[in-house]
Amino acid sequence: MQRVRVLGETAAGEGTSRGQIVAASVARARDLVNGPANLVTPSYLAEVAREIADDLADRGVRLTVLEREDCEKLGMGCYLAVARGSAQRPKFIHLQYTPKGTAKGRVCLVGKGVTFDSGGLSLKPSDAMMDMKMDMGGAAAVLGALEAAAKLGVPWEVHAIVPATENMIGGDAYRLGDVLTASNGKTVEINNTDAEGRLTLADALVYAGKLQPTYMFDFATLTGACIVALGPRCAGVMSRDDELTNLFTSASERVGEEMWRLPLPEALKEQLKSPIADMRNTGERYGGAITAGLFLTEFTAGQRWVHVDIAGPAMVRKPFGVCDEGGSGFAVATILEFLARA
């Protein structure tokens, strides 16, 4: 007797297929975060992006990698300053997916890609440095999410942008008191070289903004202050765009990734004032996650933008739920849910 396929079976099969793709991309992000820093270098991240682009070229994926010289031409003074202390060459990775037909819009996903963070001349103590191979959790998330987005055929044009570098000590490392010029012309006085992630993101956000995105997000293991505020399992979300924030946090609720919105009070920008530059790269101890977000607002003018500080849930120290110790692949599932429903 011929078997009749019912609608529910078709939907179940599609759901299973989607789940497998999402799970594989979360696993890729976890593997990248868990890899030792002597393996997972900026060049290695670029090679992974090349592998994704080659495998999915027929799905509309292509890759551009900007070398140090290319970034110099674009005036990326903040990003390149962080890279100066390392023997590893920086790699500015731009992975793009273009859907078939007319796209609903353009979404830029910027991921912090510091493959090892020693703190630079503001050197971390040994215990605090042990997990710093995982400081590229944002990069892992956006690369994994773009790979899955292409496989799923989401209707958005998606760009994953990763300013990959190490933050190391060395004879040419950037110093406290240096004044850097970002690619939008803003000047930054350095008062802590261990606040390097926001410097790499600054130039990456300017670059992303030039693509004229419909929406722009950044994902970064940015501040210990966010873990103090929200604990180790919850990401901090910051934006002045209520509608976009609600769309994104609703997606996070549906997939079970905990996020909580933090404010961006303009008054706290007072902490970032500098007597010799447009701003300093850090404020005072209090409200550290928020002042990091406020710093990034200087590089996102006119954009519909959300900042997601994933310092807690991206780097799991005590296993919980489906997460073992190490990288969690946090934010991949939320990004894909957002792209499917927005």
**pLDDT value at residue 4:** 52
Q: In this structure, what token pair is assigned to residue 131?
A: 């997990």
Pairing of strands 235-238, 187-189: unpaired
Please identify every residue annotated as catalytic. 124, 198
N- to C-terminal Cα separation, the chain: 43
pLDDT 10s digits, 75-92? 999 999 999 999 999 999
pLDDT digits (tens, 9 = 90+) for 129-162: 999 999 999 999 999 999 999 999 999 999 999 9
pTM: 0.96
- Tell how strand 179-181 and strand 279-280 pair up: unpaired
- Domains of the chain and any CATH numbers: 7-341 (3.40.630.10)
Q: Is there a contact between 113 and 162 (Cβ–Cβ < 8 Å)?
A: yes
pLDDT of res. 1: 46
Contact 340, 248 (CB under 8 A): no
Of 89, 88, 87, 92, nearest in space to 73 by CA: 92
